[in-house]
Amino acid sequence: MQKISKLEKHIYSVSEITQAIKGLLEDKIGEVWLEGEISNFSVGPNGHFYFSLKDQNAIIKAAMFVYANKGLKFKPDNGLKVICFGRINVYAPYGQYQIIVERIEPKGVGARQLAFEQLKKKLEQEGLFDQAHKKPLPLLPFSVGIVTSAKGAAVRDILQILKKGASFVDVLIRPVRVQGELAAAEICAAVEELNHFGKSDLIIVSRGGGSTEDLWAFNEEIVARAIYNSALPVISAVGHQINTTIADLVADIFVETPTAAAKIIVDKKNALIAELAAAKHELDFSVTELISGLENRLTGLTHMLKSPADRLQEKQQFLDELFSGLNYNMRHALELAGERSHSLIERLGTLSPLSILSRGYSLSMLMPQGEVIKEAGQIKPGDRLKTVLHKGSFTSLVQEVLKDERENGI
């Protein structure tokens, strides 16, 4: 730009002076590192970021185009203090200078850590970490899908533990990248494929240890949502001892090592075997008690039962007792009947006419009819009578019939 002499009068157009300023700023200042606080942040239709950087005394416009912000690990937001790298630019249509940001980092905290905190807060507010959404593991899984690197130590550790402690478990390995730009998408696809395949009882998402950057794929939102949306229970077994990943928080169960994930399955098998052993012991005890009780009862019944010979002898003895009793009862009955008969005979003897005759009475009958004469009116003079005495009898002729002497007072 030419220096303007006080004696010369040069008139610039707006475009000319703007281009002159643009050239001075871009050439003299160029690329810079700039520190400030974000304000007026917005995202354009094409994904470009527009915001301002300010401090206590000044403000500058900033733009970060989509090619630069595409791989950004955190979301810029108002109030966030950042350090930006970019070039000073003049936006001619508005005659304002600005910085075109190529790189941006949070001040005082790493970009990945900020991204982690932002995503954690977002998913927590959506309820992805709630215990109510955690799915229980099956009682005893017979098939396990493993999402991990096919060449890493994690899969070897898992297979070794399962082979020793739960060899019956079928293992489906879905190999994926576990770090790098493509890892998150592959992990997400693997979880979805194992769900659609329908042959697994649960899924283990795993990798060995590593730095925060190595583990970053397990902090990606798409991985978190794939685990959350899985119909199968998911165990997160990312090999770390200190940091917790987003995958850990979303998973139904998380452990610190792949080995621990395999041990969960082995422990469930051992617990089930122990439970079955206890049930078997209790069942054996109950059956033994039942059999013992039945044996005792059978022994008692056996003692009560006798051999056929013993039973026959017992019946013969019983018959003998019945026969003896019958004889006794018959003799007794006959004795009673004899005594009664004798009494009746004596009574009959007392009532017999012969007994009466022995006391001086006689019995007279009209002959030849043999009609017993009970009163004098039955006979007349000239009738022949037979008189029976106590001993012997005689016949007589009636000479005179007298009236009843009782009537005469005799």
pLDDT tens per residue, range 76-101: 888 888 888 888 888 778 778 888 89
Task: List Cα–Cα distances, 333 to 71, 323, 327, 343, in angstroms.
Answer: 129, 15, 10, 15
CB 362 within 8 A of CB 388: yes
Percentage, residues of the chain above pLDDT 90: 21
Amino acid at 258: P
pLDDT digit string, tens, across residues 259-289: 888 898 898 888 888 888 888 888 888 888 8
| Cis peptide bond N-terminal to 368, omega within 30 | yes
Q: For residue 17, what pLDDT is reported?
A: 74
Quick check: 116 pLDDT over 60?
yes
Which among 129-143, 306-320, 357-371 has the top mean pLDDT? 129-143
Q: And the tokens for 243?
A: 């940091």
Quick check: 185 pLDDT over 90?
yes
**CB-based contacts of 284, cutoff 8 Å, min separation 6:** none
Q: At what angle are helices 258-304 and 153-165 packed, to 10 degrees?
A: 10
Element (DSSP H or E) covering residue 377: none
- CA dist 223 and 116 (Å) reads 13
Starting at the edge strand found earlier in the chain, the sheet holding 143-148 runs 170-175, 143-148, 202-207, 234-238, 253-254
User: 7-11, 103-107, 237-241, 396-400: which range is least confident on average?
Assistant: 7-11
Quick check: 251 pLDDT over 90?
yes
More confident of the two residues 329 and 234 = 234
Quick check: 3 pLDDT over 80?
no
Q: What is the pTM of this model?
A: 0.52
Find tokens 């700039």 and name the residue: 34
Q: For residue 111, what pLDDT is reported?
A: 67
Quick check: 33 pLDDT over 70?
yes
Under the banding of pLDDT at 50, 70 and 90, the label for residue 410 is very low
What residue ranges define each of the domains in the chain, with the CATH number in brackets? 14-108 (2.40.50.140), 142-270 (3.40.50.2300), 357-408 (no CATH)
pLDDT digit string, tens, across residues 325-368: 778 888 888 888 877 877 777 776 666 666 676 777 777 888 88
Of 125, 79, 76, 134, the residue nearest 105 (C-alpha): 76
